Amino acid sequence: MATSKVKGSSATVGKIRKQADEVHRKIVAKATPSLKFPLRSLANVKYDPKRGFLEMRGRKKERTLTVSTVKTFAQTLRMMSLSKELVEQDDIATKREAYYVSKNWDECRFLEQTESDTVMDDVEALFEVNREQLGFVPEEKGGEVAGRLTILDKDTDSGKTLRIDCTKFGSGAYSIPISVEHLGFETDAKFVLAIETAGMFQRLVKHNYWKTAGCVLVSMGGVPTRACRRFIRRLADYKKIPVYVFVDGDPYGISNIYRTLKVGSGNAAHLNEYFCVPQATFMGITPQDIVDYKLPTHPLKEIDITRAQDALKNDPFYEVHPKWKHAVEQLMRLGVRAEQQAFAKFGLRFVMEEYLPRKLKEPKKFLP
Amino acid sequence: MATSKVKGSSATVGKIRKQADEVHRKIVAKATPSLKFPLRSLANVKYDPKRGFLEMRGRKKERTLTVSTVKTFAQTLRMMSLSKELVEQDDIATKREAYYVSKNWDECRFLEQTESDTVMDDVEALFEVNREQLGFVPEEKGGEVAGRLTILDKDTDSGKTLRIDCTKFGSGAYSIPISVEHLGFETDAKFVLAIETAGMFQRLVKHNYWKTAGCVLVSMGGVPTRACRRFIRRLADYKKIPVYVFVDGDPYGISNIYRTLKVGSGNAAHLNEYFCVPQATFMGITPQDIVDYKLPTHPLKEIDITRAQDALKNDPFYEVHPKWKHAVEQLMRLGVRAEQQAFAKFGLRFVMEEYLPRKLKEPKKFLP
């Protein structure tokens, strides 16, 4: 499992070296060096369900070394150099740390973290790898795991393989690290169940639901972080198992959580390829569930309605999936939303003993 | 380790039964039943550093059964009954689930979750136990652990003890469950290091810092959740080890994170006794560190200034600790704040190899 890590690392260093050599050659030849970045904007995004994620159309912007671009140009090269150092030394830096490292770059230093974040995003897009492969890691964590899964990691000092058995955490769980590229997996689970709230996750863990259902439970804690999305993706790819997503029946659960997990996000399309889970399907609360189970509901909020309208109008994901279009339209007609805890009306165990088992009998009926 | 749980459980059921019997006796005797709740407000709070936390002064409000209180009164009894059921069946309910359970209480049902939350807080204060002991658990999770600690939990089905070795998580970590009352600990760690950001935690985990320093690392991920505070408290009490808190040098890190961890919060004083860590001391960035290390800083924001002024004016914690008063005043004079990542200016490993070891040589100098 460590192999892929090492391969990835040397490949990254090679790419950085190649790009830097080119800049160097131009300068020595007294020509003007330039760097070409993919355009990172919604206008440069398309969605092909066969490919599985929101991806860039390939338009690029060029940054040529001139008097006015000299600082950003230099910062970009410095950032590339920091990345090379990190990868070679098997170290990591958060966005915030990278910003502070720049304080030592004299005239090149960043004045605000937003500046260094943008340059980091550029570098990431330039090499068409994800930030984790550059040694940069996000600030935020998130994602807990319990159930039929053994994770393979290694001890930094001894290099020895660590086997982390996620059936042995009792009421606790495994917390997904910020970077997951080096992890290996062993599992006989039939599927991954990704859950919106920590509360619902805790219920399923408390009652060993993963044992009865033969699955891996992942708590997303709201919108899944990059690490959480990548973790699920690598696990599902590796073991060729489906991913079922259990979220609230509202535009936030559907668009912000489920859609982001499945196809990635619109304004970071340069990295969706790595941070999406195309094999995910929706076993969350559908508008039809609200009707069928007569669930307790809340009226849709203003922001819910805006979200739903946006989805129907601009989002290529809904365009491609008419079933989703109809579902969101039905939700709008109902004018209400329902939370995944709403089943507690029928008793606290209903969700585990009735709702989930019933759904799991017909995964083909899940929304795409 | 399971003993304390069982004891706690039957004690809780006993308390609920006694209170309910009293109400029942009054009704049978055709007298007016009433319940007495401690007043939950800042005005009813005091701080004695020997006791170690913000605590209630003991003022109470009485809720007597009348025409206008009948619904809340009934809801309170229903909530007590739900709690008894949960404890007896070793189940749990989140605040949100409890709200939905009430949808089956006919006329008694809550219309908004804020109503049921308030009643739950009342019940918690009434019995002077914490919500977890009533079977109620918070929605939010938080808190990761790595380092020299073995956690004892048990398998729900088999009842067998699970030994969770936190030195064996590689780049991952142990995620603290929502309720921690039943956990046991084995450790030879010299101290607990509680860290503000997930990014800094990840750095220390990546480099096995816990090994060199001989400690347990806990990531709080911002303001620590109840579960996280309780976990640290139980661990520190049990092993009689100090807790050092490493946060940003700003009013948020000092007041919202450190002060809350150490003495609890002002508006939930009825439960601070359980959710505070009086043995915590501050090894975060002090205003003096900003000067000594010439750290990169940001100007204090409006909200920082308001927070600092509030602390100096109203907070009994600062009143009791003049050292803290002076530190906050110094920060105000400097007019800046510094983040724990700022040491990256001196290289990414500086914080591990220089700053923390230097500090650890003189824990007596830590702010109280």
Note the helical H segments in B103-213: 113-127, 198-206, 209-213
CB contact under 8 A, A156 and B342: no
Q: Give per-residue pLDDT as tens, A89-102.
A: 888 899 899 999 99
| Measured distance CA(B33)–CA(B52) in Å, rounded | 36
Q: What is each CA distance from A244 to A237, A285, A318, A356, B134, in whole angstroms?
A: 14, 12, 19, 11, 32
Structure-model confidence comparison of residues A276 and A44, the more confident one: A276
User: Going by C-beta distance under 8 Å and a sequence separation of 6 or more, which residues neighbour residue A145?
Assistant: A151, A166, A173, A174, A175, A176, A216, A217, A218, A219, A231
Q: How many Å separate Cα A283 from the centre of its chain?
A: 19
| Measured distance CA(B291)–CA(B293) in Å, rounded | 6
The angle subtended at Cα A357 by Cα B179 and Cα A323, nearest 5°, is 110
Residues in chain B: 368
Tokens of B112: 């908004």
Partner residue facing A96 (CB), from B101, B199, B349: B199
Which residues in chain A touch residue B228, judged by CB atoms under 8 angstroms apart?
A: none
Tell me if A263 sits within 8 A of A271, measured CB to CB: no
User: Going by C-beta distance under 8 Å and a sequence separation of 6 or more, which residues neighbour residue B303?
Assistant: none
CA distance A46 to chain B (A): 33
CA distance B55 to chain A (A): 28
| Measured distance CA(B326)–CA(B331) in Å, rounded | 9
- Tell me which chain B residue has its CA closest to the CA of residue A138: B199
Average pLDDT over residues A135-164: 90
Q: Give per-residue pLDDT as tens, A215-237.
A: 999 999 888 988 999 999 999 99
Q: Give per-residue pLDDT as tens, A275-329.
A: 899 999 999 899 999 999 999 999 999 999 999 998 898 788 898 999 999 999 9
The confidence score (pLDDT) of residue A63 equals 87
| Measured distance CA(A333)–CA(A314) in Å, rounded | 19
Residues in chain B, pLDDT under 50:
1-7
Cβ-count burial B273-299 (b if 16+ within 10 Å, e if not):
bbbbbbbbbbbbbbbebbeebebbbee
Q: Give per-residue pLDDT as tens, A331-354.
A: 999 999 999 999 999 999 999 999
Instruction: Give me the percent of chain A exceeding a pLDDT of 70.
Output: 96
Partner residue facing A96 (CB), from B103, B341, B349: B341
Q: What is each CA distance from B301 to B70, B76, B250, B291, in whole angstroms?
A: 47, 43, 10, 19
Helix A70-88 with A113-126: angle, nearest 10 deg: 70
| Measured distance CA(B362)–CA(B357) in Å, rounded | 9
* Closest to A201 (Cα-Cα) out of A172, A177, A179: A172
The angle subtended at Cα B30 by Cα B29 and Cα B33, nearest 5°, is 90
Q: How many Å separate Cα A160 from the centre of its chain?
A: 28
The confidence score (pLDDT) of residue A129 equals 83
Partner residue facing B174 (CB), from A92, A175, A343: A175
Tell me if A139 sits within 8 A of A95, measured CB to CB: yes
Which residues in chain B touch residue A170, judged by CB atoms under 8 angstroms apart?
A: 153-156, 162, 164, 177
Tokens of B153: 């939990």
A258 a catalytic residue: no
Q: Give per-residue pLDDT as tens, A165-209.
A: 999 999 999 999 988 989 999 999 999 999 999 889 999 999 999
The confidence score (pLDDT) of residue A267 equals 64
Q: What is the DSSP letter of A29?
A: T
Q: Give per-residue pLDDT as tens, B109-166.
A: 999 999 999 999 889 888 888 888 899 887 777 799 999 999 999 998 899 999 999 9
CA distance B96 to chain A (A): 7
Q: Give per-residue pLDDT as tens, A64-91.
A: 898 889 999 999 999 999 999 999 988 8
User: Going by C-beta distance under 8 Å and a sequence separation of 6 or more, which residues neighbour residue A28?
Assistant: none
User: What is the value of pTM for the model shown?
Assistant: 0.88
Tell me if B184 sits within 8 A of A180, measured CB to CB: no
* Closest to B194 (Cα-Cα) out of B252, B253, B106, B153: B253
Pairing of strands A280-282, A243-246: parallel
The residue to which tokens 């290289």 are assigned: B347
